[in-house]
A and B are shown apart, each in its own frame.
Chain A
Amino acid sequence: MVISAKNPVHSILYLILTFFTFTIHYILLNAQFLAIVNFIVYMGAILVLFLYTLMLMNLNKESEQPKSNLVKIAAVIGGGCFLVTIVAALKTFGHSAPVLLKETNLGLVKNLGKTLFNEYLLPFEVSSVLLLSAMVGAVLLASKDSKPTA
């Protein structure tokens, strides 16, 4: 649905639906922190950003002219080959054990926070630097034309 919808806005709405099912999956896996983060960051921030960008561009009228059929078929075959390979590799594993919740409080905020701030403190700080540089870069890129003299 996401990739087959002609209108990009519909595509984004389908993507929101897909991410909502992801959130439900996280809740079912008892990863509550990730569920909340997924809900807020993806569905709240990223997809709204997509939607605003798309509406800002206002290109609903001009439909994209489709790629040639050959390219489409080749793309579907390529993706399908990938799918078949992984699934066939899975078949060789045979039956797998069910996903049991060994530690029921694994995905809770308290437990994740302990792991995050003990073992992964340096990556955490580095990711903050990454986010800062991304913010600066985005502002720089998006506002280049408005201030030509700056």
Chain B
Amino acid sequence: MEHLTQTIQTVPLNAYITLSTVIFAIGVIGVLVRRNAIVIFMSVELMLNAVNLLLTAFSVYLGDASGQVFVFFIMALAAAEVAIGLAIIVMIYRNTNSIDINVLSRLKW
């Protein structure tokens, strides 16, 4: 366990930034590629989590607790967003019997 802790201490900050960027890019591609509204929502969650991880890494890097408080707020916001979004998706599904986002191009205005 001590050895593991020593090894983790040597992980450079760039590795965290790269990991977060890769995950964020996967989220972006997911939003652009898929048509299922729920999968698009999950991609948004993925992007939020990438940013969370980066904030935490910076917070630990700088020895400042504010970053982790921000991550906490982002998590609360994500929970609210998911509740509202899923409610909207359920409503769309009831109205159109599909969660394909191309159906929504018929929206008025």
Contact = CB atoms under 8 A, between A and B. Distances in A.
B104 to A, nearest CB: 14
Interface string A59-97: 100001111000110111011101100110010010111
A98 B25 CA distance: 24
Given A86-B21, A96-B14, A100-B9, A112 B59 contact: no
B101 to A, nearest CB: 10
Give me the 4 closest cross-chain CB pairs, A-B, nearest first: A75-B32, A3-B30, A134-B80, A79-B29
Interface of A: 2-3, 8, 11-12, 15, 18-19, 22, 25-26, 28-31, 33-34, 37-38, 41-42, 45-46, 49-50, 53-54, 56-57, 59, 64-67, 71-72, 74-76, 78-80, 82-83, 86-87, 90, 93, 95-103, 106-107, 111-112, 114-116, 119-120, 123-124, 127, 130-131, 133-135, 137-139, 141-142, 144-145
Nearest to A25: B53
A46 B76 contact: no
Chain A contact residues: over half helix, strand or loop, or mixed?
A: helix
A65 B68 CA distance: 41
Contact of B75 (A12, A37, A59): A37
Contact of A76 (B29, B68, B73): B29
25 contacts: A2-B39, A3-B30, A11-B42, A15-B42, A31-B56, A31-B68, A34-B52, A34-B56, A34-B71, A41-B79, A46-B45, A50-B42, A64-B100, A86-B21, A90-B17, A93-B14, A97-B61, A102-B60, A112-B69, A119-B69, A130-B77, A133-B80, A134-B81, A144-B91, A145-B91
